[in-house]
Amino acid sequence: MAYVDDFPTDARIVRWNMLVAFTALGIGGLFGMIQGLHRTGYFRGFVSSADYYTVLTGHGVLLALVFTTFALCGLFTWGVTRSLDRPLPSARFAMTWFGLMLVGAVMAAVTILGGLVPQMPLNADVLYTFYAPMKAHPAFYAGLALFIVGSWLAGVDWFRTYWRWRGDNPDQRIPLQTFMALTTMLMWYISSAGVAVEVLVFLLPWSLGLIQQVDPLLTRTLFWYFGHPVVYFWLMPAYFIWYTVLPKLSGGRLFSDPLARVVFVLFLLLSTPVGFHHQYVDPGIPEGFKFIAMTNTMFLLLPSLLTAFTVVASMEHGARQRGGEGRLGWLRELPWDEPAFAGCALAGLMFAAGGFSGMINAGMNINYLIHNTLWVPGHFHLTVGTASALTFMAAGYWLFPQITGNRLRFRSLATIQPYVWFIGMTLMSNAMHRAGLAGIPRRTAEPQYDSITFQGVVGGVSEMRLQIAIGGTILFLGLVLFLIVIFGTWLGGSGNDSLRVNGAIPAPLSGPEHSPRILDNLKLWTAVAILLIVLAYGLPLSAMISDGLFAPGSPPIPV
């Protein structure tokens, strides 16, 4: 029995979320290739340099917000219902949050794309970060508000499912997949409150003309209060797959359920009080609070290192079950020709590189060298562009047969697709990092200046541009291959073929009974998380609003 047979209504909700996610991925990926060719100067015939920023905004919003959030909702709906072995309480409620998110995403996307049509009174060239002083059409902010509210209700749906399960199972530990979904949503509720205040209290009334001015420092701070945790909102579903599905794909079992719970608790505690590390060059933030943010950010390396240890140990266990031997010889026994496994494993490998470049971003002193350079999008493409995106694609190869009842189509294309993506990202991201070290700026349509000559780092500037252009094109090719496989599987019908996958996930080598029950105390961890945020943000925010909530500029903040 496939998941679609046990939970037909929930399978439909998962499919629709994935449909929107992968449609946004396709459009956003096309925009990414256009940017890569445009800013490197290899082809500027798609858009003008003025419209480049519309495409840049669409690329960021569609991929960083729409694709990731809908993919998360699909994966978590599957994981919660599967692990609790019960459907969502109400199909109508599920369709309500899905509909709110869809309407909000469409409103924001149409407003952005309106910038490409001079006859339309819509415009939102505010980039993915969208904080003041750049202003968008009110429809953009209203769409974002609906989108966020929809995501909140999705979390409510998973909590309702859990509470009903808890009523029937008062003494059992929370199943791991549900535990991961709930802690992720608690982090999301806490962090997205900042962007909700920014949009509803400041940006939307400002764009409607109801208020005449906003404080750019305050809105920027509220965005980054949300802007770093949203990185983990993308990554935690990838961790969810690495911990619960990848060990099975490897042929083994998860090494440690307790370590997985510790990792998600640490993300809940530490993800939010770190946002000031995005504002190291912001003169309105006192150095002492930037230092606190840097310290907290470095602590975030711990859950990532724990994950690397646990996931690799699980993969090694699987390989040895297949007959693998030796210190590294077991790697040969892993199923590298299985697209779901290969995609997850390559995504994890690329994420390790992204973690190292992230340490540079997090350091107060060395961050100044790369802050406004191409290094930052290079890092970004290793994390959300590969760790999350490639994992979600790989999960799609494994999950779509289960939620459609159809056998995976175009298997040969699926087998090579993760490697195509990996090669494209290797070319593009390494050139972006080196370009950042050379001082080449980001967010620029034509980073060529008559009076400035950039010195190449481990290679020439023209070579880096070529790598970025080739890498971006290969990535788009990999995306097209993926969409052919997924939509071919979805629309191809079940025929008479039997499924080659099943949704059963083996028990961990070390189960939840080996960990203290306090790890499941979500109220305690939420309270601690809020306390840490008050310590990190309380004084700076109170100083920012001390001269008036809407007054631009703030007095100096004592450290």
Per-residue tokens: 77: 């709906």
- Which residues on neighbouring strands pair with residue 373, listed in sequence order? 441
Q: φ, ψ for residue 405 (rounded to 5)?
A: 80, 5
| 170 burial type by CB count under 10 A (0-12 exposed, 13-18 middle, 19+ buried) | exposed
Of 82, 86, 20, nearest to 403 by C-alpha is 82
> From CA 364, how far away is CA 361, in angstroms rounded?
8
Three-class DSSP labels, 259-328: HHHHHHHHHHHHCCCCHHHHCCCCCCCCHHHHHHHHHHHHHCHHHHHHHHHHHHHHHHHHHHHCCCCCCC
**How many residues comprise the chain?**
559
Q: Report whether 86 contacts 164 (CB < 8 A).
A: yes
Please report, for residues 178, 404, 417, the alpha-carbon distance to residue 487 in angstroms, rounded to integers and kept in the order given.
28, 11, 15
Q: φ, ψ for residue 412 (rounded to 5)?
A: -65, -40
Those residues whose C-beta lies under 8 Å from the C-beta of residue 545, and which sit 6 or more positions away, are 215, 218
Catalogue the active-site residues: 228, 232, 379-381, 442-443
Buried b (16+ CB within 10 A) or exposed e, 412-451: ebbbebbebbbbbbbbbbbbbbbbbbbbbebbbbebeeee
